[in-house]
Amino acid sequence: MKRDPRFDILFEPVKIGPVTARNRFYQVPHCNGMGYVQPNSLAAMREVKAEGGWSVVCTEEVWIHPTAEIVPHAEGILWDDGDIPALEKMTEAVHKHGSLAGIELQHGGYCSSNNYSRIPPIAPSALSVSSYDPVQARAMDKTDIINFRKWHRKAALRAKQAGFDLIYVYAAHSGTLLTHFLSRRINKRTDEYGGSLENRVRLFRELIEETKDAVGDSCAVAVRFAVEEFLGPMGITSENEGREIVEMLAELPDLWDVNISKWSIDSASSRFEAEGYQESYISFVKSLTSKPVVGVGRFTSPDTMVSQIKRGVMDMIGAARPSIADPFLPKKIEEGRMDEIRECIGCNICVMSDQISVPIRCTQNPTMGEEWRRGWHPERIEPRKSDDGVLVVGGGPAGLECALALGQRGYRVMLAEATSELGGRVNSESHLPGLAEWARVRDYRVQMLEGLSEVTVYCENPISSEEIIEFSAKDQFNYSHVLLATGATWRNDGIGKNHREPIPGLENIPVFTPDDIMDGASVQGRVVVYDDDHYYLGGVIAEKLRSVGHEVLLVTPAPQISIWTQYTLEQEQIQKKLMELRVELSTQTELVTVNDGMVELSCVVTESRTETACDSLVLVTERFPNDELFCFLQEQPEKISKAGIKTIRCIGDCHAPATIAAAVYSGHLAARELEAEPQEEVPFLRERVKI
């Protein structure tokens, strides 16, 4: 296929100081949960991006000195020469495919508690650290500032030695020392580094100039700057100080990478922001500088990308999450394969990985983070080992991904779905407020399956265990492997994390589950939503019910509403939305018993009890795996053997209910492992410390 000429502009080279990017696709710095702890995994992940057509591939933030670390988070480290080899792995991997490697040098200032180094944090002025740690940062004196400049220069020289082509001076988000110097809220100095904007910008200017002096002969010097902090007059705004700072420094760096702050806004989920949402804040930058400008906005549409370039919003299309969902997005546009783009759904599961320091993962791309440790590639897969046929039962996320990967391996696959539509839980959940883009999980796979002659799809086919055994022996259907992806069903008895027995009195009141709500059940009167799941669904259902006029009380035993979404950067926005809708919120509260028109609640700390009116109760606790079919077949070994079925495997939510990302991964794993050689005790490579 040929590239659509409309997109030619995306593949023009861009000169960035002394280096040139081969196209306009720029993978901006993003965290990944691997960092200095897993350099082989990190290098392999970045290499796939370069192979996929991203002309610039950057690191995550890389700590430049022990006075700023956030262990146990796994970011990059460049404290001394001993850290160079690990980073060289990445630059070598990226250079293999003709891409430029960028490094984001970082000092976190008062946002670094330094629990590992035990060195008191530093800041422009004395103040408490940004976390809940009982630690305060000390005010930097002139010697500290001189030392910081030396640390940054040394880190830049080490980065050059490691093979990086672009070196960042980082003043974005809210967790960088440079941002703290720029801020009137934080910087209370009275010397030449505080007070006026010109003084507060001084250190920023010095670092750019000194970095260019150190490495600018062969490396481009990029600036990452947040033009809007959403803090009102005391913060940097795109209309005032953000604009003035760009004007002051306009021609100093070789490239401007501009965004908004804080991280939860810069990486807002699709539930709260649409593609290209940062344009209104950053669009002024190009009018102030002749240097290339990079911006982000969860771009997945080639038409939107072209529009951004032609309208002068930016010169290069920056991406973190879209490059995770589809590392080959640029190549697919270049080769005219836009229909094959695996579009980011904006769920921020990738962010969660960094928050809990595990290898990065993605709902749309199950190979993300598995490039080195399992040898997975997003565009290549091991061919089939035999001519055996495969039956996949269930067309939800796990079943769709499994059938697709098996079809790509060349297996003959029959996918049986009980309902009239493929998609499973995605169909229902994508109709909830803010979750429409999650339908891409279904749409991408359905579209890809349509191009695979090896896969036959049968909807409205609630296949039974007897039929599985019977059909396997028939010539037109015969298969040797059965993969069951029959999903899960929400419980209606209240059993969950905090209740291991049914909640008493549920027979006294109309009780609903998330499945009921998504199926359009008629809910009456004042609704109590009891959320013991703690991810997005409890909050979304409360929002849905409130938006149609119900009085809603959301109760959770956790100290925060939808507490797990703090890992996806959504918790504050979810709570704000619910409060704006006037949903009543009750945290650290247990649902104890149910009476006629009333529920009894208990404080999880004091055990004090209260009663509140309730006409309808929605229980968001946990799910039953729909594994009845699997269990029945497991009990029929003789019939299974006689029918010629070699393997039966349960995948996705019917194996272990979890996230959509986990279901997709489970389906992909099963497809990869079909007829594979037996593995060692640990089924993936591990990064080991050499002793």
Angle between helical axes of 39-51 and 84-95 (0-180°, round to 10): 20
One of 26, 110, 168, 170 is an active-site residue; which one? 170
Q: Residue holding tokens 């149609």?
A: 548
Among 173, 550, 655, 668, which one carries the catalytic annotation? 173
What pLDDT, on a 0 to 100 scale, did the predictor assign at position 188? 96
Beta-bridged to residue 584, according to DSSP, are 553
CA pair distance 480, 572, nearest whole angstrom: 49
Cis peptide before 72 (omega within 30 of 0): yes
- Containing 598, the helix (H) or strand (E) segment is strand 598-603
Cβ burial 13-38 (10 Å sphere, 16+ → b, else e): ebebbebebbbbbbbbbbbbbbbbbb
Distance between CA atoms of 689 and 686, rounded to whole angstroms?
Answer: 10
Within 10 angstroms of residue 297's Cβ, the number of other Cβ atoms is 25
The pLDDT of residue 685? 94
Query: Residue 342: what residue type?
Result: R
Q: What is the pLDDT of residue 542?
A: 98
Beta bridge partners of 14: 21
Residue 211 in contact with residue 64, Cβ under 8 Å? Answer: no
Domains of the chain and CATH, by start = 5-355 (3.20.20.70), 389-487+626-673 (3.40.50.720), 492-622 (3.50.50.60)
> Measured between alpha carbons, how far is 468 from 351 in angstroms, rounded to an integer?
40
Residue 476's pLDDT is 61
Query: Which token pair is 524?
Result: 């009456």
**262/222 Cα distance (integer angstroms):** 20
Q: 3-state DSSP call for residue 583?
A: coil
Contact 393, 399 (CB under 8 A): yes
In this structure, are residues 253 and 169 in contact, taking their beta carbons and an 8 Å threshold? Answer: yes
Find the catalytic residue in 165, 254, 257, 266.
Answer: 266
Active site annotation includes 173: yes
211 Cβ contact list (under 8 Å, min separation 6) = 152, 153, 156, 167, 169, 221
254 is catalytic: no
Mean pLDDT by 10 residues, the chain (691 residues): 92 98 98 96 98 98 96 95 98 98 97 94 94 93 98 98 98 92 96 97 98 98 96 89 97 97 92 95 97 97 97 97 98 96 97 94 98 97 96 98 98 96 97 97 98 96 89 72 98 96 97 97 97 98 97 98 97 97 98 96 97 98 97 91 93 98 98 90 90 87
Q: Which helix (H) or strand (E) holds 610?
A: strand 609-613
CB 185 within 8 A of CB 233: no
Position 470 scores a pLDDT of 82
Pick the catalytic residue: 26, 30, 31, 344? Answer: 31
680's CB contacts (< 8 A; 6+ apart) are: none
Provide the β-strand partners of residue 598: 595, 613
Q: Is the dihedral of CA 127, 130, 136, 137 positive or negative?
A: negative
Q: Do the beta carbons of residue 178 and residue 200 sit within 8 Å?
A: no
Residue (of 393, 440, 491) closest to 660 by Cα position? 440
- Residue 166 tokens, joined: 């672009």
Whether residue 150 has a cis bond before it, omega within 30° of 0: no
Of 148, 124, 150, which Cα lies nearest the Cα of 137?
A: 124
